[in-house]
Amino acid sequence: MTGAGLPVPPGFAITTDAHRAACAGMEPRLRALLAGCDPQDTAGLAAASAQARALVEECGVPADVRAQVLAAYAELGRRCGTPDVPVAVRSSATCEDSPEASFAGEHDTYLWVCGADDVLTAVSRCWSSLFTERAIAYRQRMGLAEDGAAMSVAVQKMVRPTAAGVAFTLNPHDGDRSQIAIDASWGFGEAVVAGEVTPDNYLVDKVLFEITRRTVSDKTTEYRLAANGRGVERCPVPDERRTVPCLDDEEITAVARLARRAEKHYGHPQDVEWAVDADLPAGERVLMLQSRPETVWSKRRPASISAGAASGYASIVSTLVSPLHGRRT
């Protein structure tokens, strides 16, 4: 995303090669633990998951990787002017979010992690989240091999969001690719992603960026920075803000433009996580946190378009999706 010029929080990545090197010595034990797992046996799955995660976390981060992580975190602190800069430590598996499978929510992310030691612990826990019960069961249902799975980790400066949520570069209800759908709520996006709040919803025209529909919901729950400044806490939204729109029109349009840029870069419809950072100046506050392929409607063959329609508006929309790859969808 950084290479595409998309606005993301500053940070660094720990590669899958580092993860594979860390786990190389324990692979036989991990394979043995997972070989007999049955997704229908919840107790057995829970036991195998707990043992696999404990094994990975006990091994920790190897010395050479540890040194590189500490150096990168120190440099990030210098860039941000804060030695123990708060960061988000996000997991990203190699098998995650392909066009055929979506692992959204199956692996772990840690927010407001402060200090080098806690960053290293969070990295180890992200690696171990390759073996959550949900992830193991999902890989088995999808027929994905355990030995092909590896985990990269993104470490990014923590945003301080006034609002956050998700955006789809199609209408998730009917697959209409001429629209961008935005779900938004107060605070961090975890309440939206986890389905703990009914978010505000906006539909935006993908060509003209006109807001064609808006639904403001009663937003009862938000996640915000904990009182001790370390981590987040789930809180009730004050009554006076519950039914107030959490985005203004300029921010809605900025989210839509960001989502369309991601779609153009990756060449197919996207499911984007975003946030509005209170620490940044107006006009620069909307940041992309993650972009993954949309995995429901993208699998379906688009409805045929008449020759007349294809020469007009529908044809314009179809060219927006994949210009970098020289094809139309």
Q: Which CATH number fits the domain that encloses residue 182?
A: 3.30.470.20
Cα maximum dimension of the chain: 64
Closest-CA residue to 92 (of 149, 137, 22, 148): 149
d(CA 329, CA 317): 9
The yes-or-no verdict on residue 142 having pLDDT over 80 is: no
Which domain does 36 fall in, by range?
11-157
Pair (121, 270) in one structural domain: no
| pLDDT single digits (tens) 265-286 | 999 999 999 999 988 888 889 9
Residues composing the chain: 329
Query: pLDDT band at residue 324, thresholds of 50, 70 and 90?
Result: very low
Number of domains in the chain: 2
Three-state SS at 131: helix
Q: Which range in 12-26, 164-178, 310-324 is most confidently predicted, on average pLDDT?
A: 164-178
CA neighbours closer than 13 Å in the CB half-sphere of residue 8: 23
| pLDDT single digits (tens) 146-166 | 666 889 999 999 988 999 999
Pair (59, 122) in one structural domain: yes
Three-state SS at 264: helix
Structure letter (DSSP) for residue 98: B
| pLDDT single digits (tens) 239-258 | 999 999 999 999 999 999 99
More confident site: 140 or 61: 61
Pair (23, 134) in one structural domain: yes
Provide the sign of the torsion angle of the four alpha carbons 209, 186, 98, 153, taken in this order: positive
Three-state SS at 199: coil
Pair (191, 281) in one structural domain: yes
Pair (229, 99) in one structural domain: no
Q: Which of 107, 135, 157 is the last residue of a domain?
A: 157
d(CA 140, CA 37): 9
Query: pLDDT band at residue 89, thresholds of 50, 70 and 90?
Result: very high
Q: Which of 140, 157, 174 is the last residue of a domain?
A: 157
Chain-centroid distance of CA 209 in Å reads: 24
pLDDT of residue 217: 98
Residue 224 belongs to a domain: yes
The yes-or-no verdict on residue 87 having pLDDT over 80 is: yes
Pair (107, 229) in one structural domain: no
Pair (272, 169) in one structural domain: yes
pLDDT of residue 214: 97
Residue 4 belongs to a domain: no
The owner of tokens 């088995």 is 140
Closest-CA residue to 206 (of 263, 291, 266): 263
Three-state SS at 41: coil
Pair (167, 262) in one structural domain: yes
More confident site: 196 or 320: 196
d(CA 3, CA 6): 8
Pair (52, 93) in one structural domain: yes
pLDDT of residue 35: 80
Provide the sign of the torsion angle of the four alpha carbons 114, 117, 121, 127, taken in this order: positive
pLDDT of residue 319: 41
The percentage of residues in the chain with a pLDDT greater than 90, rounded to a whole number, is 54
Among 66-75, 175-184, 186-195, name the one with the lowest average pLDDT.
Answer: 186-195
Pair (41, 167) in one structural domain: no
Chain-centroid distance of CA 292 in Å reads: 7
DSSP per residue, 132-191: -HHHHHHHHHHT--GGG--EEEEEEEPP-EEEEEEEESS-TTT--TTEEEEEEEEB-THH
| Euclidean distance between the first and the last CA atom of the chain, given in angstroms as a whole number | 22
Structure letter (DSSP) for residue 229: S
Pair (95, 197) in one structural domain: no
Three-state SS at 4: coil
| pLDDT single digits (tens) 183-222 | 999 999 989 988 999 999 999 999 999 999 999 999 999 9
Pair (143, 206) in one structural domain: no
Residue 3 belongs to a domain: no
Strand 221-225 versus strand 232-236 pairing type: antiparallel
pLDDT of residue 70: 97
Residue 17 belongs to a domain: yes
Closest-CA residue to 222 (of 202, 258, 246): 246
